[in-house]
A and B are shown apart, each in its own frame.
Chain A
Amino acid sequence: MTPLAQAGAPDLDVLEREGLANVPDTAHDPGPGPDPGDGRGRGYGQRSRLSPRRLWLVVLAAAFVASLLSAGVGRRDLVNPGGWEMVRRFFGAAVRPELGTEFLRLTWDSTLTTLSYAVLGTALSVAIGIVGGVLVSQTWWRSSRQAPRRPGRAQVGGGWLAARGALGVPRAVHEAIWALFLVNVLGRDPLVGVLAIAVPYGAVTAKVYSELLDEAPAAAFRALRAGGAGRLKALFYSLGPQALPDLVSYAFYRFECSIRAATILGFIGAGGLGFQLSLSFQSLRYGEMWTLLYVLILVSGLADLWSRRLRSRLTSPKPALRGHSGRIPPAMYSQAGGTVVGQARPRRDRLLTGSLILAGALVVISVWHLGIDVARLWAGRTRTLLADVASSAFPPRLDGEALTELARLSLETLAMAVLATALATAGAVVVAFVAARRGATSLLARAVLLACRAVPPPVWALLFVFVLFPGPLPGALALAVYNFGILGRLMAEVVENLDPRPVRALMAQGAGPAHAFVYGALPVALPRFAAYGLYRWEVTIRETVVVGLVGAGGLGRLLQTQLASFDYRSVVVTLAALVVLTFVVDLAGASLRRALR
């Protein structure tokens, strides 16, 4: 490997995994090819006017404009001027949060509830992830027979593909929809909230874990297998320990996401901070809303900080990229001997041990706080209700008129997602570079990003509905603000991990800071930003449902009316449309990422 290839291939950050793992990133780059003219055939080579890359950019721009038009931008009656007074009053209440003892107690209790859902949802999805991850890993499928390997590429076969594909289905349906479905089966039970998080998240976690296991060096595993060890034993002794830091690290990232999911679930009745937020909003008690929002921002901030600390501790350090100069820091030279001595690593990392104990304690507290009764799952009533739902949902209602409406709403949903993602990406690119620097502006930028992602999209949607007439636009804007918070943070991490050497090299030969930035940092960062943007687009298409539930349009709106009227035969059709739409967007996103790489 050449130095450049090493520099260009930082460990695939665990954060990136969810979105980027299915596309080989730079880490899997074939490396510098000795073959001359190698690049020419791939579209990088020629200086043609319309490379696939440029073509895609044109398509993206067109999609953005089409989405703007379809969301009604340019029409007259878009803004509701009367709403500004409400917005003013809402933000005026920011300095007067409700601090009465009674309400604070309620807030504390709600916080515990939301956290409990997040903790148990994460714990369960990690459990699902471990079992599922092993079962769908290529290594597992390949080594199913204790037989000498044939030379050449091992085949994993259709069974593996089917197993992997099946994981996509639970994920395609948003947590909120799972909750609405589970309520019908389990009744009003805390298990609903936990399962609604654990089912879709468990599927993603299983997918990511299987990829982590497959990426771990397989030599040790093969050696153990060759020595006659059983599949599972060999796995636990070789691949497991190698992948463990990444597995733990991803679990904590999931926890951050679960807090956001648990809050959103509150909006549809699971209790906790989201529920209180919607109650306070309905009674126009803005002071109460602000108390809840402040707590939410605080909790999200702490969870982010915790998970970030832990993840940077767990993922292998990259000395060449991290250090300011790439030199061995002077402190690591011993004064007398002259040899390089690394600081002796403590045998047990206190942060890590403490975190794991705390996580365990949180699980116990959560079970107790929510009063989880697992027996409910196989109670007779559950089975009857499940049968009821199943029978009332079939046969699906399919007629021409409904299909036309479905197609229209699917396009509207797509437009919402495109608009939201485009706006969020544009904003995040700028703010990421500010947030990645040091100093006061950076802190401010980070605070803004945190607030944007901690406040759940339904709240943003409600705010936008003050000033904009209901429709896809306020929904798109709400999702844009929320995704801006998430993307900005992800992109800031990209910027922090950029290889500083090219910029330094350019500065050393006399280029100004702006020039050096444009040549040395942007070209490396932009493709990764684009990949994140596309990944969020795939997530956003699922999240349109959430703002749809508060009336912002798209398939979510339709789903809400159908659920409210217990029209399960239509619900099934709408859900199917959502799943199809999600898969289409996933496919488009994956091929776009490949083209832009």
Chain B
Amino acid sequence: MEESENVAVTLRGVSVRFGANHALEGIDLVLRQGERVALAGPSGAGKTTLLSLLNGSLSPTTGTVEVLGGDLSRLRPRDLRRVQGRVGTVHQHFDLVGPLRVVHNVNAGRLPAWSLPKAMWSLVSPQEASGAEAALARVGIAEKLYERTDRLSGGQQQRVAVARALVQQPEILLADEPIASLDPGRSLEVMDLLRRLSDETGMTLVVSLHALAYARSHCQRIVGMRGGRIVFDAATAAVTEAMVASLYRLEDAEV
């Protein structure tokens, strides 16, 4: 397996089409391990589509997606799952299971490593609860371990989603609009949290953002997207106001 030069993700000539709609077109992108990268751009730019390519829940119409040294569309199902287990995702709508207690939602991140009987027994008598508690402690809500997830506030649910990704001990963490539904105070906390986690563990962080301010303050690199294409890809310091403005120009805003 080639993991030369610490490359985490390589996309070559990637396009994704849903019928006549070109969600992504001609994407080439290389992300290095430990990088903190922001995907910026208006709604419909293809940010979510790009992230679902990276965690293997979508395969490209053309082109190749290599994650942690494996070409996702060529891997056998079992190997694909192994790679997926090394990529954590925090979804825009958290995608937690509401009626389950927090401990189970966090432990869901361990499912790839667990046998089915163990997974089922855990729902009756929580397994590895200390691991889940440690992950929750890192996101600052350890005391919520045994609460029902749908009774938590939005910000707390967001943290549970992060904790679920953390127990995977991922090498890459994908976050899809992690602050879209949070107030400014919570937004800053979550972004700080993501940056700290990436610093501590050296994991690659890919986060899609509406708010350019957070991309500037928390990421090292910004990939600007519009209409399914990459408009610019530069270190944060090199991103100018003109480049940002080009993302959100009103005319021909979408495909």
Contacts and interface: CB of A to CB of B under 8 A. Distances in A.
A343 to B, nearest CB: 15
Given A338-B254, A515-B119, A519-B100, A509 B154 contact: no
Contact of B108 (A46, A47, A519): A519
A351 interface: no
Q: Which size bracket describes the interface of B in this complex?
A: 35 or more
B97 A523 contact: yes
Contacts of A5: 98, 150
A511 B111 contact: yes
B57 A502 contact: no
A32 B80 CA distance: 36
Contact of A509 (B93, B168, B181): B168
A541 B222 CA distance: 65
Contacts of A501: 91, 93, 95
A519 to B, nearest CB: 5
A39 B151 CA distance: 7
B104 A510 contact: no
B153 A2 contact: yes
* B interface, over-half SS: mixed
B60 interface: no
Nearest to A39: B147
Given A338-B253, A509-B84, A4 B157 contact: yes
A508 B170 CA distance: 13
Nearest to A511: B111
Nearest to B255: A338
Contacts, number: 160
B93 A508 contact: no
A514 interface: yes
Interface in A521-557: 523-524, 527
Contacts of A518: 116, 119-120, 123
A16 B18 CA distance: 35
Contacts of A520: 97, 108
B252 interface: yes
A40 B150 CA distance: 13
Interface string B89-101: 1011111111111
Q: Which of A44, A47, A508, A509 has the most CB of B within 10 A?
A: A509
Contacts of B93: 3-4, 7, 501
B196 interface: no
Nearest to B105: A519
B88 A509 contact: yes
A342 to B, nearest CB: 15
Interface in B129-162: 143-144, 146-154, 156-157
A516 B85 CA distance: 13
Nearest to B168: A509
Contact of B150 (A32, A339, A510, A516): A32
Interface in A161-197: none
22 contacts: A2-B157, A3-B92, A4-B94, A4-B154, A29-B150, A32-B153, A40-B147, A44-B151, A45-B147, A327-B48, A333-B20, A333-B255, A501-B93, A504-B57, A505-B95, A506-B111, A507-B57, A508-B57, A509-B164, A515-B111, A520-B108, A523-B97
The 5 closest A-B pairs by CB, nearest first: A330-B21, A510-B84, A2-B154, A510-B85, A3-B93
